[in-house]
């Protein structure tokens, strides 16, 4: 007769055995009621439905998943703002230049005056120059070449002397462009653009664009595309509902060469905001 009350020694379970034992216990304790099972699955189905909508957006737009202009980009393809990207913004237009900018944002034979609605000091087409860009509206009179609503944009060059010069351009903003508002899928509305600015030595080709921007856009970047080559991403300007992008390519160009821009935008958290290409 064995009087030993202790159970016989049993070797300890390994991790695999413990896992199988735990699963058997959980299977026995899990409720089998169908209603409880549906409540557990419902949140998973809801997440799947959202994912399906996002996937549908990608298919409808026809844009690749890595395109920062599409919301709901998968995490492994998330596009972030370019680190250390060159900046075109130089801040507010110097006070001494504001009156000249308003005067020069007119056509040669225009008698009316304009009101500056927005302006910015930006880098120039050469390393030793700068420029001022502006959005303006008729304040008196009306020029026959200006659209009915009287809005225009202007680009005025600042030579190395540091004083705003009259070299630049004034472009009419079409009434249709001015009254358009950027949509959630568009992000930016082009007010005016120029893609053929060329230095005197034909060594630098520049493209710039002024837009109306959605409120959530905090940063815009652009890069040039020319004859199959692409430039580096360059940070533009977003300020008070307007945006400005500008790119430059260096080489040997001729009159009539055009520089295409690729654009992308981000919110304050660095998340991509859809923009229409």
Whether 114 maps to a domain, the answer reads yes
In the predicted model, what is the mean pLDDT of residues 16-42?
41
Q: Report the alpha-carbon distance of residue 117 to residue 153 in Å, rounded.
A: 10
pLDDT tens digits, one per residue of 247-272: 999 999 998 899 999 999 999 999 99
Domain of residue 133: give its range: 89-273
| Count of CB atoms situated within 10 Å of the CB of 2 | 4
Residue 90 three-state SS: strand
- Residue 44 C-beta-side C-alpha neighbours within 13 Å: 5
Is 38 part of any domain? no
Provide the number of structural domains found in the chain. 1
Domain-embedded: residue 99? yes
- Closest by CA position to 168, among listed 131, 205, 209: 131
Whether residue 243 is contained in a domain is answered as yes
- Do the domain assignments include residue 39? no
User: Which CA distances in Å does 178 have to 103, 181, 189, 217?
Assistant: 22, 8, 9, 18
**24 is a domain residue:** no
Rounded to 5 degrees, φ, ψ at 11 are -65, 145
**Residue 63 included in any domain:** no
Asked whether the beta carbons of 234 and 156 are under 8 A apart, the reply is: no
CA dihedral (244, 139, 196, 230) in degrees, to 10, reads 10
Q: How far apart are CA 228 and CA 234, in angstroms?
A: 18
CA 110 to CA 144: how far, in whole Å?
9
Position 9 in a domain: no
Write down how long the chain is: 277
CA separation (Å) from 121 to 12, 118, 125, 189, 272? 75, 11, 13, 21, 26
Q: How confident is the model at residue 160 (pLDDT cuts 50, 70, 90)?
A: low
The pLDDT tens digits for 100-136 are 888 888 888 887 778 999 999 999 998 888 999 999 9
Mention every residue, 6+ apart, whose C-beta is less than 8 A from residue 136.
Answer: 102, 105, 114, 115, 116, 117, 151, 152, 153, 154
**pTM greater than the 0.85 cutoff:** no
Contact 20, 13 (CB under 8 A): no
Give the per-residue pLDDT at 110: 82
3-state secondary structure of 275: coil
202 band by pLDDT with thresholds 50, 70 and 90: very high
């Amino acid at each position: 007769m064995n009087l030993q009350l202790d159970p016989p020694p049993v070797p300890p379970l390994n991790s695999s055995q413990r896992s199988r034992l735990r699963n058997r216990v959980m299977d026995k304790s899990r409720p089998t009621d169908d209603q409880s099972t549906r409540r557990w699955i419902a949140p998973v189905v809801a997440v799947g439905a959202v994912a399906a909508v996002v996937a549908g957006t990608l298919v409808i737009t026809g844009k690749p998943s890595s395109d920062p202009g599409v919301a709901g980009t998968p995490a492994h393809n998330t596009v972030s703002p370019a680190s250390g990207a060159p900046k075109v913004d130089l801040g507010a237009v110097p006070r001494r230049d504001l009156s000249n900018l308003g005067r020069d944002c007119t056509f040669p034979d225009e008698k009316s005056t304009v009101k500056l609605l927005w302006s910015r000091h930006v880098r120039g087409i050469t390393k030793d120059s700068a420029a001022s860009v502006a959005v303006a509206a008729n304040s008196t009179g009306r020029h026959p070449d200006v659209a009915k609503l009287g809005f225009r944009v202007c680009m005025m060059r600042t030579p190395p002397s540091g004083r705003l010069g009259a070299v630049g351009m004034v472009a009419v903003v079409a009434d249709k462009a001015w009254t358009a508002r950027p949509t959630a899928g568009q992000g930016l509305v082009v007010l005016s653009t120029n893609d053929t600015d060329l230095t005197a030595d034909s060594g630098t080709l520049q493209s710039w664009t002024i837009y109306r921007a959605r409120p959530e856009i905090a940063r815009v970047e652009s890069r040039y595309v020319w004859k199959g080559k692409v430039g580096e991403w360059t940070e533009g300007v977003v300020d008070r509902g307007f945006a400005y992008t500008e790119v430059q390519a260096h080489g040997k160009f001729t009159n009539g060469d055009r520089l295409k821009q690729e654009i992308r935008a981000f919110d304050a958290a660095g998340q991509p905001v859809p923009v229409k290409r």
